[in-house]
Structures are given as C-alpha cells and as structure tokens.
Amino acid sequence: MESEMIKQEIELIIENYSNNKKLTENELFLLLENVLDTVISQGKFENTAQSFYNYANYIRIKNMVLDSSLGIPEILIPKIKIIIPIERRVLEKECKTRIYLGVFMVFFSIVCYLLFQNEFGVTPIFFIIGLLLFGLFSLFNGINILNKLKKNV
C-alpha cells in the first residue's frame, strides 16, 4: 500500500518535471533516487530521447540537486558511485561516435575536393574547408575527452 503511494507520487513528480514545473528539494531527491534505482536495476541508461531514464535527464536532475541549497544527500552517494561506471560507458560511446564522425567528415571533404575540383569550374572550397575543419574539431574533441576519461580511471 505504501509502495503504491510512493510510486504514484514519483509518477506525479516525473509528470511535473516533464512539464517544466518547479520542484521542491524533497521532490528532486526522490526523483534522483528513483533514477538511480532504475538505472542500477537495469544496468544501463535508456537510450531513447522519449524515455525518462536516459543519460540527459540524469545529468539535468543531478545538476538541479547540486544547485539546490542542500546538495546531494549522503544516502545517495553510494548509489552515485555505482552509476559512475555506467556513466563512463555512455561518455566513451559518445567520444567514439565523435571520433568516427570526425574521420568520416575529413575523409568526405578530401573526396569532395578530388571529385569537384574541376566539375563546376570553381571548387566549392568553402563547403570543403568547413567540412574539413568541423571534422577535425570533432575528431580532436573526441580524442581529447576520451584521453581525459582514460586518465581518470
């Protein structure tokens, strides 16, 4: 009976959070604890944008709790320590995606330069340079963040 009331209260808090309503500190703590418990039980974050228990919502809720006047309660610290490896896997996956995207954009810009060099009389140089620079930025950004993650093991 009591667990049903807590589940209903958490569902109401999730609905209020989804509607961008201001949450009290107790509601934030309950919400963060619910997210932590769900992710720990699943062993991963949900990876769809529509789902509530995804990495982006976890970061938002955690930042909201950190911005509150009380900070993160001691009860949640062990649960957050359990979440850290799961969070690391998500970040490593994002970094690898950035690296692959960067390599693809650099390769694609070189291919575009070679293909369109004499095709239009003028090479679409701004497109190629922009693609190359964005690809290099994405590549080095992914490598940099991945190195920082590996140093903090």
29-75: pLDDT as tens digits: 888 888 999 999 998 888 887 888 889 889 988 888 888 877 788 88
In whole angstroms, give the CA distance from residue 101 to residue 138.
Answer: 7
Q: Is 43 helix (H, G, I), strand (E, B) or coil?
A: coil
Which residues lie across from 54 on neighbouring strands?
Answer: 46
Q: Please tell me the predicted confidence (pLDDT) of residue 122.
A: 66
pLDDT band at 112 (very low <50, low <70, confident <90, very high): confident
104: pLDDT strictly greater than 80: yes
CA dihedral (77, 78, 80, 84) in degrees, to 10, reads 130
Q: Is the distance from CB of 128 to CB of 109 less than 8 angstroms?
A: yes
Residue 96: how many CB atoms within 10 A of its CB? 12
Q: Which pTM was predicted?
A: 0.77
Q: Please tell me the predicted confidence (pLDDT) of residue 6.
A: 80
**Which two three-digit tokens encode residue 66?**
């950190």
